[in-house]
Amino acid sequence: MSQAMRILVALIAGLVIGIAAAALAPGAVPQAIAVAEPIGAAWLAGLQMTIVPLVIALLVVGVAATAEAARAGRIAGMTLAISFGFLWCSALAAAVLTPLFLDLAPLPAASAEALRTALAGTAKISSDVPTLADFFSSIVPTNVIAAAANNAFLSLIVFTLVFAFAITRIEPARRVLLTGVFEALKDTMLVVINWVLWLAPIGVLALAFTVGAKTGTAAFGALVHYILVVSAVGVVIWAAAYPLALIGGRVKLGAFARASLASQAVAISTESSLASLPAMLKGAERLGIPTSTSGVVLPLAVAVFRSTGPAMNLAVAIYVANWFGVPLTAGSLAAGIAVAALTSLGSVSLPGQISYISSIAPIAITMGVPIAPLGLLVAVETIPDIIRTLGNVTNDLALTATVAARSGVAPRDAGDAILEE
């Protein structure tokens, strides 16, 4: 059984056992919760302890890899420039769309209140929701050690990015040495977080039992609502690939849709952009894009262009904020957008559960949103993750068409796939 399935089974089992205990033996529930709640809290603390060093190491390694790729030539540089612009737009879209979707289809007030009560023992809500002035004043840290200690992720990320880009400017031998240190730190933290995730069924079972015992069947409806809202944000980013291909790549929509079908089928079955790479290369060939271009753009896009990441990660944080009644100020949204876009630079080739925690927790903490619900929500990430992968591979192909068109290398003999000038 896969790790994702083990966590999902633990979630369902915990909710069912909690609901059954509340119905059949209500007198024993308080004592059971008194045992389960600290177990869930300890597991969440284990996840949280890895976040700061993991994010720092991923960003340094990611920037080093990106800088190296940018030196590869004009096509690589254009790929990175378009990718980073799209990632910021992706985060901005979530800041607009998620509150809109929550207004159109709100989480029932009774369910939200029941869930808040159920997680009251583990979910710590910050009283310091950042204002717009706080956002601007906190961008540059005065003390990076204090920023790390206080989970001030925006200023910590800014310092890490400056530090990482500075590494790319030093003497090559020292650059390799220092990058190797952060590579080793990254690998070590991945081992630690894999240990913590190996214990996830225990932690999720404990959290789910507490929620099930306190909320009953309301928890199931709330989880379905979460899946639909976050997936809807991802679908919008996925759909953005088609106008990108049409306008940026000058590819006819029908031709682009046919060319992307095979990679989308692989994405659904594997939930992996990397596994979809051969199908994406074949799709690019159908669009008449030479391998000299697609062979550079697509591997680079798979590595750095997680198009749905900023949007769906920020959507989760906004959803939890709505769930727990955390106000969304202009400052908190601006900080969330910045952290969502910047942390995507360090999301290279991470397993789903690790990237979920390492990408969303910094956003939530920066916005003053509790991260305890992530321990439950990670268990139902399978459907949103399929949407993430579909959006990523489709946008990767649209990006390739755009770079090819803007580079002037796409041939004009690709049947009726290419729009006339």
Q: Name the band, by pLDDT with cuts 50, 70 and 90, for residue 416.
A: low
> Higher-confidence residue: 5 or 354?
5
Q: Residue 380 domain-assigned?
A: yes
Single-letter amino acid code for the residue at 254: G
369 vs 121: CA distance, rounded Å: 15
Comparing C-alpha atoms, which of 347, 297, 269 is closest to residue 280? 297
pLDDT at 121: 61
Report which listed range, 203-207, 289-293, 367-371, 399-403, is most confident.
Answer: 399-403
* Mean of pLDDT values over 240-250: 92
Q: Name the band, by pLDDT with cuts 50, 70 and 90, for residue 395.
A: very high
pLDDT at 344: 79
Sign of dihedral through CA atoms 148, 151, 153, 154?
negative
CA distances (Å), origin 232, targets 55, 130, 200, 342? 27, 27, 27, 22
Q: Is the pLDDT of residue 169 over 80?
A: yes
Q: What is the CATH number of the domain that holds 146?
A: 1.10.3860
Q: Is the pLDDT of residue 380 over 70?
A: yes
Q: Give the single-character DSSP code of 126.
A: P
Q: Name the band, by pLDDT with cuts 50, 70 and 90, for residue 1.
A: low
- Taking 3-state DSSP, the helix, strand and coil percentages for the chain, each rounded to the nearest 5, stand at 80, 0, 20
Decide: helix, strand or coil at residue 251. strand
Comparing C-alpha atoms, which of 304, 226, 299, 287 is closest to residue 412? 287
* Mean of pLDDT values over 368-386: 85
418, β-bridge pairs: 251
316 vs 323: CA distance, rounded Å: 10
Q: Residue 418 domain-assigned?
A: no
- Counting residues of the chain whose pLDDT is more than 70, the rounded percentage is 89
pLDDT at 92: 95
pLDDT at 310: 93
Q: Please give the full DSSP string across 270-337, using - where no structure is assigned.
A: H--TTTTHHHHHHHHHHTT--HHHHHHHHHHHHHH--TTHHHHHHHHHHHHHHHHT----HHHHHHHH
Number of domains in the chain: 1
pLDDT at 136: 60
Pair 360, 374: CB distance under 8 Å? yes
Q: Residue 162 domain-assigned?
A: yes
Q: Name the band, by pLDDT with cuts 50, 70 and 90, for residue 258.
A: very high
Range of the domain at 77: 3-407
Q: Residue 421 domain-assigned?
A: no
Query: H/E element holding 249?
Result: none
What is the Cα Rg of the chain in Å? 22
pLDDT at 27: 86
- Counting residues of the chain whose pLDDT is more than 90, the rounded percentage is 25
161 vs 181: CA distance, rounded Å: 16
Q: Residue 253 domain-assigned?
A: yes
Comparing C-alpha atoms, which of 80, 122, 95, 22 is closest to residue 372? 122
Contacts of 32 (CB under 8 A, 6+ apart): 21, 209, 213
Pair 82, 399: CB distance under 8 Å? yes
Q: Is the pLDDT of residue 420 over 60?
A: no
Compute the C-alpha angle 12/18/21, nearest 5°: 135
Range in 44-58, 253-267, 302-316 the model is least confident about: 44-58
Comparing C-alpha atoms, which of 397, 124, 198 is closest to residue 283? 397
Q: Residue 53 domain-assigned?
A: yes
* Mean of pLDDT values over 363-376: 87
Sign of dihedral through CA atoms 363, 59, 132, 138?
positive
pLDDT at 314: 96
Question: What is the SS3 string spanning 23-57?
Answer: HHCHHHHHHHHHHHHHHHHHHHHHHHCCHHHHHHH
Q: What is the mean pLDDT of the chain?
A: 83
Burial 135-169 (b: 16+ CB within 10 A, else e): beebeebeebeebbeebbbbbbbbbbbebbeebee
pLDDT at 413: 44
* Mean of pLDDT values over 212-227: 83
Write out pLDDT tens, residues 132-167: 566 666 677 777 777 777 777 778 888 888 888 898
Sign of dihedral through CA atoms 297, 303, 304, 307?
positive
Tokens of 77: 């540089």
62 vs 220: CA distance, rounded Å: 37
Q: Residue 280 domain-assigned?
A: yes
The CB-side HSE value for 169 (13 A sphere, CA atoms) comes to 6
Write out pLDDT tens, residues 56-104: 888 888 777 777 666 667 788 888 889 889 999 999 999 999 999 999 9
* Mean of pLDDT values over 191-210: 87
Q: Residue 133 domain-assigned?
A: yes
If you search the block for the tokens 């798979």, which residue do you land on?
302
